[in-house]
Amino acid sequence: MKSPDILALDFDGVICDGRREYFRSGWLTYCQVWSPSNFTPPIGLSDRYLHLAPVIEVDVDVPLLVRALMLDLREEQILQNWYEIKTKILEQDQIHKETLNTEFARLRDEWLTQDFDNWMSYQPFYPGVKERLEQFLASSVKLVIITNRLQRFALKLLEAEGITLPAEQVFGKQGERPKYQVIQSLLAEKEQTIWFVEDHVRALYLIEQQSDLKDVSLFIANWGFNTHTVRQKIRSSDTRIKIISLEQFKQDFTAWV
């Protein structure tokens, strides 16, 4: 299989391990919105959050996961019924998603403005990924980022690591627009081959369901925010999604397939 014309990468869970930054921003948002009596996270809360990070798909999920953990919901229950749980929390607590999104972004902006180096230290790039991005940029492959982060945060992190990518090649969160629609818009420009690396299987399944995207090659990053159970399901199912390791990712495209 030849190299793709376009290589599309998710950001968190593929390029950057943002779990610690997400937790801290989520905790700050939780304190702002729910006003707990103690503004110090309980011992062990961050570890529980890191274990459950695979359920996070969009920013609003982060403070909602913190809220679920503060309600002492069981980890197994959260992993199996996350969509129902977060909907129930919003309804019972009478919280609007827009409120959480606004506070989450505001507190992040405040943090990176006041102490950018500290903000950066909470979300390192995975080992060897920076060098691999530089190789992609030096090749004929067009690199694009498709992320559920706001575009400005992804661009800040790339810039801080010395990666120069035009803003029009970084597709950040745009309302409720799913990632498959971004890929459809890229293909609408001209006939091209696209490979997409993501760590959330749900986004990949949605792409797989689109008849006009049947030729898009799909990869799930096993170093990202997904579980052994998810990867086992992929291995035993009739899907075109391929599991890729970080070592494979850092090699030539021939090692990916």
CA angle, 84 then 85 then 88, to 5° = 85
Residues of the chain with CATH 3.40.50.1000: 6-17+126-255
Sheet holding 194-198, edge to edge: 170-171, 142-146, 6-9, 194-198, 217-221, 242-244
33-86 per-position pLDDT tens digit: 999 999 999 999 999 999 999 999 889 999 999 999 999 999 999 999 999 999
Q: Which CATH class is domain 6-17+126-255?
A: alpha beta
Stretch 163-181: mean pLDDT = 89
pLDDT of residue 177: 83
pLDDT of residue 191: 80
In the chain, the amino acid numbered 184 is Q
Stretch 201-219: mean pLDDT = 95
Between residues 227 and 65, which one has the greater pLDDT? 65
pLDDT of residue 78: 96
